[in-house]
Amino acid sequence: MFKLRKITGLILCILVSCCLVSGCTSTPASQHKTMTDQGMLFSDDSSDFVLLAEAVPDAILEIRYYSTYNFVGDRIKGYEQPVALLTKEAAAALKNVSDELKTKGYRLKIFDAYRPQMAVSHFMAWALDPNDVRMKKYFYPKLEKNTLFPQGYIAEHSGHSRGSTVDLTLFDMNLEKEVDMGGTFDYFGELSHPDYTKITKQQFNNRMILRDAMLKHGFKPLVEEWWHFTLKDEPYPNTYFTFPVSSASIKVK
Q: Which residues are catalytically annotated?
A: 225
Q: Is 167 helix (H, G, I), strand (E, B) or coil?
A: strand
> CB atoms < 10 A from the CB of 62, how many?
18
Angle at 109 between CA 105 and CA 113, to 5 degrees: 140
Beta carbons within 8 Å of 248's beta carbon, 6+ residues apart: 25, 80
Residue 76 falls in which region: left (phi positive, over 0), alpha (psi -120 to 50) or beta: beta
Q: How far apart are CA 95 and CA 57, in angstroms?
A: 9
43 contacts 36 by C-beta, under 8 angstroms: no
Q: How far apart are CA 226 and CA 205, in angstroms?
A: 12
* CA torsion through residues 31, 18, 46, 232, sign: positive
- The helix-helix angle for 10-21 and 117-127 (nearest 10°) equals 140
User: 78 - beta bridge partners?
Assistant: none
Count of positions (residues) in the chain: 253
95 contacts 243 by C-beta, under 8 angstroms: no
- The helix-helix angle for 201-216 and 88-102 (nearest 10°) equals 130
